[in-house]
Amino acid sequence: MWDETRLLSGLPGESATFARRHGDRWFLGGVHAGEAGTERAPLDFLGGGRWLAEVVRDGDDGGLLRERHVVTRRDVLRVPTAEHGGFAGQICRFTPGRATCDRPVTRLPLTALTAGPARAEADPGGSVAVTGRFAVEESGPATDVRLTLDAPDGWSVDGDGTTAAELPAGRRCRATGRCGCRPTSARAATT
């Protein structure tokens, strides 16, 4: 998930501030042990140009405070921290009129995955029929669906999986096959 991770500042047992990049955004996290103070995060890891830095930190009233700063790679982000406090933030490219680095959350579809049988036993050289089903119940579609059969050590699989570029709500896909216990294995069971 992360393309890059950097330690920006810190002292063992006192504080640490990290930056992690995913795509074109940086995500910050800082922790502070001890009395209230100010954490310093050098921003020299950023590319050229202007950036929007959003920080959520402990407020003076015990709540949370969200602050926005336009910064460059020459800046040092200074974040006041409460006693045993910290902060979180994100940094994205600044463009005029941009007020936040937030992006809409894409709702994931409600899905169900079933496999049968739940438990099976076979003598060496024997096999068991297996079925896997994946269904999109609500808020579809699901995209790039791949359902494959896999077996534990000592077993083999005979059967193909299935794929779907898009599976709308109310639809399902199914993979069937046989799992066999290798002849050299002792009596085996799988769940």
- pLDDT tens-digit series, residues 89-138: 999 999 999 999 998 877 777 888 888 888 878 888 888 888 888 888 88
d(CA 13, CA 3): 27
Give the model confidence (pLDDT) of 166-188 as tens digits: 888 888 888 888 888 776 544 44
Whether the model pTM is above 0.75: no
Task: Give the number of other CB atoms < 10 A from CB of residue 40.
Answer: 14
The percent of residues above 90 in pLDDT, for the chain, comes to: 47
**Region 40-52: what's the mean pLDDT?**
96
d(CA 46, CA 81): 23
Q: In angstroms, what CA-CA distances link 104 with 47, 51, 107? A: 25, 20, 9
Q: Reply yes or no on whether the pLDDT at 147 is more than 70.
A: yes
